[in-house]
Amino acid sequence: MSDMLNYLKNAGGKSFDALPLNDIDLMIFAQLSYCDFLPVPPGTTLCEAAQIMLHAEKSADDTEWRFSFQQADDEALLLWVAASARYHQATLSAFERKYDADNLQFAALGLHLPGQDVIAYRGTDNTLAGWKEDFDLCFRMPVAAQAEALGFYRRLAAQSDRPIVLCGHSKGGGLALYAGLFGEDALKSRVSQIVSFDGVGLPESALRAVESDPACAQVLSRTRVILPEGSVVGVIFPQPGTVRTVNCRSVSLMQHYLFNWVVEGEDFVDSERTLMSRAAAIAIDEFLDQLSLAEREQAVTLIYEVIRATNAQTIEDILRGWIKNTVPVAKAVLEKLDTENAKLYLKVVTSFYRALARTAGVLISGEEEENAKGSERNE
């Protein structure tokens, strides 16, 4: 089955006049945002930028590293982008990467295309701070990365009066939604499209605010969310705009990985949500409904403090040092396990199993359509 690399092989020689900007291009830009284009000066064509990145020295900063299979796929993508005459028409206008071990993981890529600009926001990377921000979305809005996403959009919008496409994968898709829907009215009017690739949606209260804002009406009409058939991430919170479900060549969580999305010709292949994805949507909603915002914050903070006791900064740090990390984790758990935290832990575990039981009952009874929330409300 074909993927984004096959698309570049077949369509990489076509200009944007011959083949207008499409969702596969935007998916590629979203994937490219995971590459750190810091060595590339603004004004460089995307083809030349890819060449620079292919020859750049590997960073000594562990927080910039991705897992080996991701690095290999990104390198293959850079090779095809570098050879693409199509992307010689795109120039890099900006790239930013910001990181704070306590509360921020953010990166965004700005591109200048014929007649329009594109901003691609990076999703969650290998850092623990990035994962914590994901969980923070369960009780807080905006998180630091959302504020950075809006600031990045403001700065690029100030450079010209051209229409701007906002896109991103995973958390990056959520950042695109936030930047496009929660900025000033003048910024909303500049949005050409918002495209989220399996990104988290918006909490119910935020979605209601957006849907009741007249200035957001046109933006919502130009907003779409593209989910893999087995989506788990994209069913967290309801989705604005329209939702499209597409085919993948993998199963389970690996459907979240964009290199596994099936591309035929110049488009995705439509599909239907799997039973696992529908069950995940119900389970997540049921679980979150049983915890107050304060309890969600307390639980996330507690878990993160325990993990940070290992001094790890990335997921890979934890995996590499899981034996030596056992003692500091155990010590941190014992220090934090007072009566209040023990009660919270018990409630979290109980709520999780109640959600699973409720999900099984809903699916078996056939009440799924009536009870499921999440992105199912848009399909």
pLDDT for residue 335: 62
Sketch the domain layout of the chain as residue ranges. Answer: 4-274, 282-378
**55 vs 262: which has the higher pLDDT:** 262
For all residues of the chain together, what is the average pLDDT?
85
Q: Where are the alpha helices (DSSP H) in the chain?
A: 4-11, 23-32, 46-55, 68-82, 128-136, 144-157, 171-181, 185-188, 204-211, 217-221, 275-289, 293-308, 315-320, 326-336, 339-365, 368-371
pLDDT for residue 64: 65
pLDDT for residue 371: 44
Residue 354 has pLDDT above 90, yes or no: no
Burial class from Cβ neighbours inside 10 Å (0-12, 13-18, 19+) for residue 212 reads exposed
Residue 255 has pLDDT above 80, yes or no: yes
What would the pLDDT profile of 224-241 be if each residue is shown by its tens digit? 999 999 998 888 888 999
State both tokens at 135. 């969980």
Q: Model confidence at 256, in pLDDT bands (50, 70, 90)?
A: very high
Q: Quick one: what percent of the chain has pLDDT higher than 90? A: 55
Do β-strands 116-121 and 164-169 pair in parallel, antiparallel, or remain unpaired?
A: parallel
CA pair distance 36, 149, nearest whole angstrom: 16
Chain centroid to CA 371: how far? 26
Question: At the top level of CATH, which class does the domain 4-274 belong to?
Answer: alpha beta
Q: Quick one: what percent of the chain has pLDDT higher than 70? A: 82
Contact 301, 140 (CB under 8 A): no
What is the pTM assigned to this prediction?
A: 0.85
